[in-house]
Chains A and B, each alone.
Chain A
Amino acid sequence: MTIVSASKLVVQNLRKSFHSQRSVGPIQVFDDISFEVHPSEFISLVGPSGCGKTTFLRILDGLIPRDGGTILLDGAAVIKPGPDKGFVFQDSSLLLWRTVIDNVILGLELQGVSKREARLKAEQYIALVGLRGFEQHYPHELSGGMQQRVNLARALIVDPQILLMDEPFASLDAQTREIMQAELLKMWRQTQKTVIFVTHQIEEAIYLSDRVVVFSARPAKIREIVNVNLARPRALAIKRSREFLDLADRVWSLIEDEVLKSMGREKEEGIL
């Protein structure tokens, strides 16, 4: 019992399948996934595209139902989405008709906190993500990187127990992406949040994480969990170190044959 309570998040025997019009039976997305996440740990999920990483993250949040299995957050079962989990969406999911500050306070507002009070609190988080001075801007006036900073502040302000991030930097250019990675690590150190980070970039996963969970092709299983024993804080230059490159090679070789497998399947299904 002590082991369970020491974990921030426990996932046991998680199962999920979809019904598709193209196939006769249900499509197994993943079958029997189990793992644990420690408090304040940074975990990345990588795997071949289409393996169901995003679906998995959405199930963790409770946005979509699971077919079976248990998810425990601080020992309590996750049934539906809520402010105990902060979800950072992939592309710009900001409300276009709200200014930066009003986007940031959304979560508090939905819980019934007064707008005035929420805005006061928001200042601190806007400063945290480095957007002071942009409070009254509309999303379309911001660059992609800045929009994702707002996304992050919006998730953090409700003080979630865990941060679920769904390829948040996927649509950013390479330079902005690197800067955002470093910034994210800085914020993570400051806030001590537990983070689960979905990405398709192996390098990004290794740079950010304590452990990298490698998914197999569909139906997804955990292929392996790779420990990243690089010292923190990590400078961007670490990405060119021997150790880092070795780790990247290892993760890539794990994924490579899975990618080939999934490409073969897509050909069969006529997607490619």
Chain B
Amino acid sequence: MITAVKKAPLLRLSWRSPQASGALSVLAGIALWQLVYDGLARTGYLQVYAIDHFFVSPWQVVESFAELYRSGELVRNCYFSFLEFLYGFLLSVVVGVPVGFLMATQEKLNNFLDPWVSCIYATPRVALAPIVVVWFGLGIFPTSLVVFLGAVFPILLNTYTGIKSVRRNLIDVVRAFGGSRRQIFLKVMIPDATPAIIAGMRLGVGRAVIGVVVGELFGAEAGLGSMVYLYSQRFQPGPVFVGIVILVVFGILTFVAVEKLQRWLSPWYAYQLQRKVQGMEME
């Protein structure tokens, strides 16, 4: 036992841990990025080939961030985008979960809705963004609607799958005790379908972020997407990168938050094979 410990020194062990090597890789990547940029700047190619129209150094991104923050532009844009995300995402939960549930339990309704849901699901919904803006004009509402169109389908379909795959034998248990339909719904169907529904929400987050960006491209007074678009047209990549980084970080943080919600709502679920949920993460 003692020799085994000696053979695997602590330092080496922590060095090899996924977190450590991950952080190291990210830091090295950023450093490399900075070096490449400085090297290009020294040769002068940056200006000759207009590389500085789309390429920045990490340090310039930090500078742009500070500048946008000072002018108040950043906060305002974040605020608008966040509202669009929030409204659209909440709406897609409020619509997607009940409709998915009804489709899973009411066969007739499912027969009628299925062709339309499948058809719209097969269409990339971002394609509808310009049309939505023509219909509803500028502002927060149309972009929220684009967010909704993106996020609602994964939530709806995962709710449907979750309810459809509720374990029959657990329903039988409640029936055997003389439980009512209401009790079957509350005590078995809802808890058993929760992990699938949350997996749908996790997928919806990603779609919602894309919805924010594409929606703002067509009709926004403010927002991170419109900021990205504006500065890329002005050939100022600094603010563009700031917008991208914030959206990516926001997307990942929300993703993690939904995962935490998952663990909190269904702590018993963690042990189950992630594969089952992963299998649903499609399209």
A interface residue numbers (CB < 8 A to B): 61, 63, 80-83, 85, 87, 89-91, 93, 95-98, 106-107, 109-111, 138-140, 158
Say whether B173 contacts A91, CB under 8 Å. no
Closest A-B pairs by Cβ, 10 of them? A82-B178, A87-B176, A107-B177, A110-B179, A97-B191, A93-B169, A140-B271, A138-B268, A81-B176, A110-B177
Q: In the complex the two chains form, is A89's CB within 8 Å of B173's CB?
A: yes
A81 contacts B175, CB within 8 Å? yes
29 A-B pairs whose Cβ atoms sit less than 8 Å apart in the complex: A61-B176, A63-B172, A63-B175, A81-B176, A81-B177, A81-B178, A82-B177, A82-B178, A83-B178, A85-B176, A89-B169, A93-B170, A93-B172, A95-B173, A95-B187, A96-B192, A96-B272, A97-B191, A97-B192, A106-B174, A106-B177, A110-B174, A110-B177, A110-B183, A111-B177, A138-B267, A138-B268, A140-B271, A140-B272
Contacts of B269 in A (CB 8 A): 96-97
Are A83's CB and B177's CB within 8 A?
Answer: yes
Given known pairs A83-B178, A107-B177, A110-B178, the reply for A96 and B268 (CB within 8 Å) is yes
Q: Which of B176, B179, B266 contacts A97 (CB 8 A)?
A: B266
A residues less than 8 Å from B271 (CB atoms):
140
Write out the residue numbers on chain A whose beta carbons fall within 8 Å of the beta carbon of B187.
Answer: 95, 106, 109-110
Task: State the Cβ distance, B189 to closest chain A Cβ, in Å.
Answer: 11
Residues A158 and B177 in contact, CB atoms below 8 Å apart: yes
* A216 nearest CB across to chain B (Å): 27
Contact with A along B256-278 (1 / 0, CB 8 A): 00000000001111011000000
Q: Interface code B36-59, partner A: CB below 8 Å = 1, 0 otherwise?
A: 000000000000000000000000
Contacts of B203 in A (CB 8 A): none
**B190: shortest Cβ distance to chain A, in Å?**
10
A138 CA to B272 CA, complexed, in Å: 12
Bound Cα distance A111, B272 (Å): 31
Would you give the shortest CB distance from A8 to chain B, in whole angstroms? Answer: 18
Q: How large is the interface on B (under 10, 10 to 19, 20 to 34, 35 or more residues)?
A: 20 to 34
Cβ of B188 under 8 Å from chain A:
yes
Interface string of B182-213 (1 = CB under 8 A from A): 01000110011010000000000000000000
CA distance A242 to B245 in the complex (A): 80
A110–chain B nearest beta-carbon distance, Å: 5
Q: Contact: A89 with B172, CB < 8 Å?
A: yes
Chain B residue contacts of A95, Cβ below 8 A: 170, 173, 187-188, 191
* Whole-angstrom distance between the Cβ of B186 and the nearest chain A Cβ: 10
Could you tell me which B residues sit within 8 Å of A by CB distance?
169-170, 172-179, 183, 187-188, 191-192, 194, 266-269, 271-272
Q: Chain A's nearest CB lies how many Å from the CB of B14?
A: 30
For the complex formed, measure the closest distance between the CB of B95 and the CB atoms of chain A, giving whole angstroms.
Answer: 26
Asked if A97 contacts B174 (CB within 8 A), the reply is: no
Identify the interface centre among A81, A97, A138, A140: most chain B CB within 10 Å of its CB.
A97
Taking a contact as CB atoms under 8 Å apart, the answer to whether B268 and A139 are in contact is yes
Q: A61-B176, A95-B187 are in contact. List 11 more A-B contacts (CB 8 A).
A: A81-B178, A89-B172, A91-B169, A95-B191, A96-B268, A96-B269, A98-B268, A106-B174, A107-B177, A110-B179, A140-B272
Determine the chain A residues whose CB is within 8 A of the CB of B266 once the complex forms: 97
Q: Which residues of A contact B183 (CB under 8 A)?
A: 110
Bound-complex Cα distance A107 to B176 (A): 9
A260 to B122, CA, bound (A): 52
State the Cβ distance, A81 to closest chain B Cβ, in Å: 5
Closest to A86 in B: B176
Q: Which of chain B's residues have a CB closer than 8 A to the CB of A90?
A: 169
Closest to A107 in B: B177
In the bound complex, do residue B173 and residue A93 qualify as a contact, i.e. CB atoms below 8 Å apart?
A: yes
A98, A109, A110, A111 — most chain B CB neighbours (10 Å): A110
B194 neighbours in A (Cβ, 8 Å): 97
Residues of B within 8 Å of A106, CB to CB, are 173-174, 177, 187
Contact A80 B174 (CB under 8 A): no
Q: Chain B residues with Cβ under 8 A from A109's Cβ?
A: 187
Instruction: Provide the bound-state CA to CA distance between A224 and B102, in Å.
Output: 49
**Nearest A residue to B179, CB-CB:** A110
Residue from the list B172, B178, B188 in contact with A80, Cβ < 8 A: B178
Q: Which residues of A sit under 8 angstroms from B267, Cβ to Cβ?
A: 138
**Complex: how many Å from CA A13 to CA B268?**
45
Q: Inside 8 A of B175's CB, which chain A residues have their CB?
A: 63, 81
Cα(A106)–Cα(B175), bound, Å: 11
Report the nearest B residue to A141, measured CB to CB: B271
B194 and chain A: residue at smallest CB distance: A97
What's the least CB distance linking B42 to chain A, in Å?
A: 60
Report the minimal beta-carbon distance from A3 to chain B, rounded to whole angstroms.
29
**How many whole Å from A109's CB to the nearest CB in chain B?**
8
A155 smallest CB distance to B (angstroms): 9
In the bound complex, residues from chain B placing their C-beta under 8 Å from that of A63 are 172, 175-176
B59 CB, nearest partner CB in chain A, Å: 49
Chain B residues lying within 8 Å of A107, measured Cβ to Cβ, are 177
A111 to B180, CA, bound (A): 10
Closest to B190 in A: A97
* Shortest CB distance B39–A (Å): 55
